Structure 1
Amino acid sequence: MVGRWPFRPIRARGTGPYAGPVIMQVARRLWAEPRAPHAPVRVWRDWALLVLVVAGAVTEGVLRADVPWRPVAIVLAVGLAPALMWRRTHPLAVTTVVFGTLVVSDLASIVGGTAESIGLGTMGYVLVIVYALYRWGAGREVLLGSAVAAVAFGIGTVRDYTNLGEAVFGFVVVAFAAALGSTVRLVRTSRLRELDQVRLREREQLARELHDTVAHHVSAMVVRAQAGRVVAATRPEAATEALAVIEAEGARTLTEMRAMVGALRGSDDAELAPARGIADIEPLARSLGGDPPVAVQLTGALDDVGPAVGAAVFRIVQESLTNALRHARHATRIDVRVVGDDRQVRFTVTDDGDPGASRVPGYGVVGMTERAALLGGTVSIGPGPDRGWVVDGILPRVRATA
Structure 2
Amino acid sequence: MVTVRRRLSLWDEPRPAGAPPVGRLDWLLVGTYALAVLVEGVLRPGLAWRYPVMALALLLVPALPWRRDRPLVAALVGWGVAGLLSVLQLTRPAGDVGLDSMTAVLVLLYSLVRWGSGREIVAGTAFVTVVVALGMYAASAGGAELFGGIALLLFVVALAAVFRYRADLWRRQQREVRNEERVALARELHDTVAHHVSAIAVQAQAGRVVAGVQPDKAAEVLAAIESEASRTLSEMRSMVRVLREDEAVAYAPQRGVADLPALARADAMPVVDVSLDGPLSPLAPPVDAALYRMAQESLTNAVRHARGVTRVGIHVCREGDVVRLRVSDDGQTDPGAAPEPGFGLLGMTERAHLLGGSMSAGPGPEGGWVVEAVLPVQALA
Q: TM-score, normalised by structure 1?
A: 0.86
Of residues 187, 191, 207 in structure 2, which corresponds to 1:212? 191
Listed as ranges, the gaps of 5+ residues in structure 1 are: 1-20
C-alpha displacement at 1:130, in angstroms? 0.7
Contact 2:263 2:272 in 1 (8 A): no
Structure 2 SS opposite 1:395: strand
Of residues 17, 24, 40 in structure 2, which corresponds to 1:60? 40
- In the other structure, the counterpart of 1:7 is none
Cα gap change, 1:122 to 1:344, in 2 (>3 Å)? same
Contact 1:337 1:349 in 2 (8 A): yes
Structural mapping, 1:252-267, within 5 Å: 252-267=231-246
- In the other structure, the counterpart of 1:347 is 325
2: distance between equivalents of 1:238 and 1:377? 41
Structural mapping, 1:155-234, within 5 Å: 155-222=134-201, 224=203
Of residues 74, 77, 83 in structure 2, which corresponds to 1:103? 83
Tell me the amino acid that sits aligned with residue 297 of structure 2: E
Q: Say whether 1:323 aligns with 2:301.
A: yes
Listed as ranges, the gaps of 5+ residues in structure 2 are: none
2: distance between equivalents of 1:313 and 1:364? 14
Contact 1:309 1:375 in 2 (8 A): yes
Cα gap change, 1:168 to 1:230, in 2 (>3 Å)? same
Q: Say whether 1:148 aligns with 2:148.
A: no
Show CA shifts across 1:228-285 (max 9, x none). 6777799775454344334432332233223323323232345444311111111133
- In the other structure, the counterpart of 1:17 is none
Pairwise CA RMSD of aligned residues? 2.4
2: distance between equivalents of 1:126 and 1:352? 49
1: distance between equivalents of 2:209 and 2:310? 62
Q: TM-score, normalised by structure 2?
A: 0.91
Contact 1:376 1:400 in 2 (8 A): yes
- In the other structure, the counterpart of 2:366 is 386
Cα gap change, 1:135 to 1:270, in 2 (>3 Å)? farther
- In the other structure, the counterpart of 2:19 is 39
Contact 1:87 1:94 in 2 (8 A): yes
Tell me the amino acid that sits aligned with residue 295 of structure 2: V
1: distance between equivalents of 2:250 and 2:204? 27
Q: Say whether 1:23 aligns with 2:10.
A: no
Residues paired across the two proteins, number:
379
Contact 2:263 2:274 in 1 (8 A): no
- In the other structure, the counterpart of 2:62 is 82
Show CA shifts across 1:123-164 (max 9, x none). 111000111111111112111111000000000001002411
Cα gap change, 1:116 to 1:264, in 2 (>3 Å)? farther
C-alpha displacement at 1:396, in angstroms? 0.5
2: distance between equivalents of 1:397 and 1:143? 53
C-alpha displacement at 1:219, in angstroms? 3.8
C-alpha displacement at 1:346, in angstroms? 1.0
Cα gap change, 1:40 to 1:268, in 2 (>3 Å)? same
Greater Cα offset, 357-366 or 81-90? 357-366
Show CA shifts across 1:61-100 (max 9, x none). 1121222111111111111221111111221222223223
Cα gap change, 1:91 to 1:237, in 2 (>3 Å)? farther
- In the other structure, the counterpart of 2:274 is 296
